[in-house]
Structure 1
Amino acid sequence: MRLGTRWAFGDEPPASVPTELRPRIAAAEARAAGDGTGRHWTLTWLEGRPIAELDDGTVVSDVIADALDGDEDW
């Protein structure tokens, strides 16, 4: 079991945030509207994969969606 963590928008992510997510988080913050005051990231683990979610609903993960699967009817 892995524990998640929280940190403030614009702060350096904690050491527990995987290296591969850090540039994606930085890019999401650069695109975010406003100055980020009062917003926080939450790191959780789903089936062993890291997911960082900003309070506004922005999600960053290590999964790259397959564009070819977009029309699947599951």
Structure 2
Amino acid sequence: MQLGTRWSVGGQTPDRLPAAVVAAVTQVERELAEQGVDAATWRWTLTWLERKPVVELDDGTTIRYDAVADTASIHEPVDGEEE
């Protein structure tokens, strides 16, 4: 695993992220805003696992990229779920 970078919610995503991942980040941020969640101090963490981006939000929301299908999947943490 290789560390990528961190950025704030609402901030500019790294240029090297696939469009599907950027769209997923935008979707999560829009949903947080619609729910009235104060995520002003939250940050995204980008890591590379087997040369594919994995993006995780401070609340545990994770976005994984499928390069074959060129899609991104969002996994939101469930209350009581073990990490």
Task: After the TM superposition, list the runs of 4 or more consecutive aligned residues in structure 1 that deviate by more than 2 angstroms.
Answer: 16-20
Cα distance in 2 for partners of 1:18, 1:25 equals 11
SS at match of 1:45: strand
Structure 2, unmatched stretches of 5+, are 67-71, 74-83
Cα distance in 2 for partners of 1:25, 1:14 equals 11
Q: Aligned-pair RMSD on alpha carbons?
A: 2.1
**Letter aligned with residue 9 of structure 2:** F
Conserved? CA contact 2:2–2:49, under 8 Å: no
- Structure of larger gyration radius: 1
**CA deviation after TM superposition for structure 1 residue 40, in Å:** 0.2
Among the aligned pairs, what percent are the same residue? 38
**Letter aligned with residue 62 of structure 1:** Y
Cα distance in 1 for partners of 2:52, 2:14 equals 17
The residue aligned with 1:40 is 43
| 2:56 aligned with 1:53 | yes
Give the TM-score normalised by structure 1: 0.72
Deviations 1:11-43 (A, max 9, x none): 121223332210010001112251311100000
Q: Which has the higher strand share?
A: 2
Matched residues, number: 65
Structure 1, unmatched stretches of 5+, are 66-74
SS at match of 1:62: strand
